Amino acid sequence: MIKVSRLDGVEYYLNPHQIETIEVHPDTTLVLLSGKKLIVKEGVDELLKRIEEYRRRLFPSMGEE
């Protein structure tokens, strides 16, 4: 799970495997596989960093050669 913040500052955790797309117009909007849309404070770069860190924790040997 990754932590995200709503625009009002309330933080919650989201399963990143449920994210279908990330849109910016101008707020960052996560479109989930269910079709639900979530507007969050974090920018795309921060979200991608959190998703990458999450996946490294799940699969620590991935990316090793």
Secondary structure of residue 25 in the 3-state scheme: coil
Residue type, position 41, single letter: K
CA angle 49, 50, 56 (to 5 degrees): 90
Identify the sign of the CA torsion 62, 2, 44, 25: positive
> pLDDT of 20-64, one tens digit each?
999 999 999 999 999 999 999 999 999 999 999 999 999 888 766
pTM over 0.75: yes
Asked if residue 32 lies in contact with residue 21, where contact means CB atoms within 8 angstroms, the answer is no
